[in-house]
């Protein structure tokens, strides 16, 4: 293989430059440029100075024939718009075939809400891109998987009929009744025909508890932060967030959230239990500005640990 030669099937992957660079189709110019700089450093010939010449040539070929053209396509807004249009059309065909063939990726997405599927997409992209070009011989397969993820995401936002929220029991019950019975209910108990309001904050909280049981601390932090945004005065969320931070050995931040939980509910059992563990007196109060600052720090740490967990997960897969 010469310095700039690549098999034709590799070059065909330029139809999805997002997959080639290893970024989500929602990435903006700043993220595109950041990723390009990361790949330029990773695939630089000096990085392979102590390895065999074949790897060095392959790295150079990948960068010059794949990475550079992909970046040139994505650094301009109009080109990005055209590429997304083309990928959307491809996604429609891909999605129809994937549904009929029970593609494993479709099975994973089935039953998720749009928000859950978006989170799954972001995490999956991060998992693959962490090791996308660490093994040059595996990079072709990695790009294919990233392309599949991109098509699934675009198909989801084009035709999400296969991803639906489970119907509320009340709505299902009304639909199963005879027409006459429903008409009577309308006059006597019209409130039964109104679907209950979904408590999204509690959904985040329940997911956070599930993640905590699995020791996925960064994911638990993310869910609890979302819950607090929706219900900022719920002591349950602060108490659990304090425990999660304690499990990550962030004692200072754990104290911040446990104190806030106690301020909202001085008898909160979980907060009281860990207040004793952290030597917090039950009379302690907290400045709301400290909570806001801690949430900002938590957001930054959450991104860091999410990436670390993705790296570890992929390393274990390849062992």
Both tokens of residue 194? 């109104």
Q: How far apart are CA 203 and CA 226, in angstroms?
A: 10
pLDDT in tens, the chain (319 residues): 344 577 888 888 899 999 999 999 988 888 999 999 999 999 888 877 666 677 888 888 899 999 999 999 999 999 999 999 999 999 988 888 887 777 777 777 777 777 788 888 888 888 888 888 988 888 888 899 999 999 988 888 876 555 444 433 333 333 333 433 334 343 444 344 344 455 778 888 988 888 888 888 888 888 898 889 888 899 999 999 999 988 888 888 888 899 999 999 988 888 888 888 888 876 544 444 545 555 555 555 555 555 555 554 554 444 4
| DSSP state for residue 267 in the 8-state scheme | T
Q: How far apart are CA 162 and CA 12, in angstroms?
A: 30
Report yes or no: 87 and 25 within 8 Å, Cβ to Cβ.
yes
With a CB cutoff of 8 Å and minimum separation 6, the contacts of 83 are 17, 18, 73, 74
Report yes or no: 219 and 211 within 8 Å, Cβ to Cβ.
yes
Report yes or no: 162 and 99 within 8 Å, Cβ to Cβ.
yes
Question: Which pLDDT score, from 0 to 100, does residue 172 have?
Answer: 36
CA distance readout (Å), 309 to 101, 105, 123, 303: 31, 21, 10, 10
- Burial (CB count <10 Å: 0-12, 13-18, 19+), residue 297: middle
Ordered by start, the domain boundaries in the chain are 8-158, 167-196, 200-318
Predicted TM-score (pTM) of the model is 0.51
> So what's the architecture of 200-318 in CATH?
Alpha Horseshoe (1.25)
Report yes or no: 72 and 21 within 8 Å, Cβ to Cβ.
no
Question: Which pLDDT score, from 0 to 100, does residue 186 have?
Answer: 39
């Amino acid at each position: 293989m010469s310095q700039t030669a690549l098999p034709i099937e590799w070059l065909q992957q330029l139809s999805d430059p997002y997959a080639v660079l290893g970024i989500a189709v929602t990435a903006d110019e700043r993220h595109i440029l950041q990723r390009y700089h990361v790949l330029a450093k990773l695939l630089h010939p000096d990085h392979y100075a102590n390895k065999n010449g074949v790897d060095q040539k392959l790295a150079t070929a990948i960068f010059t024939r794949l990475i550079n053209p992909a970046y040139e396509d994505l650094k301009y807004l109009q080109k990005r718009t055209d590429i997304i249009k083309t990928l959307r059309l491809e996604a429609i065909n891909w999605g129809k075939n994937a549904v009929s063939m029970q593609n494993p990726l479709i099975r994973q997405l089935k039953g998720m809400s749009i928000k859950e599927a978006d989170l799954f997409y972001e995490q999956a992209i991060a998992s693959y891109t962490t090791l996308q070009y660490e093994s040059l011989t595996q990079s072709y397969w990695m790009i294919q998987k990233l392309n599949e993820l991109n098509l699934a995401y675009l198909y989801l936002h084009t035709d999400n009929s296969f991803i639906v929220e489970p119907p509320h029991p009340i709505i299902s019950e009304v639909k199963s009744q005879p027409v006459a019975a429903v008409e009577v209910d309308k006059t006597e108990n019209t409130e039964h025909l109104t679907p209950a309001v979904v408590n999204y904050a509690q959904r985040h909280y329940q997911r956070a508890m599930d993640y905590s049981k699995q020791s996925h601390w960064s994911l638990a932090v993310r869910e609890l932060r979302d819950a607090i945004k929706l219900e900022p005065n719920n002591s349950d969320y602060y108490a659990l967030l304090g425990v999660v931070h304690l499990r990550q050995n962030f004692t200072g931040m754990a104290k911040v959230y446990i104190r806030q939980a106690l301020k909202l509910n001085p008898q909160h059992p979980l907060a009281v239990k860990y207040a004793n563990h952290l030597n917090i007196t039950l009379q302690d109060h907290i400045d709301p500005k400290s909570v806001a600052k801690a949430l900002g720090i938590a957001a930054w740490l959450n991104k860091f640990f999410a990436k670390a967990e993705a790296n570890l997960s992929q390393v274990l897969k390849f062992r």
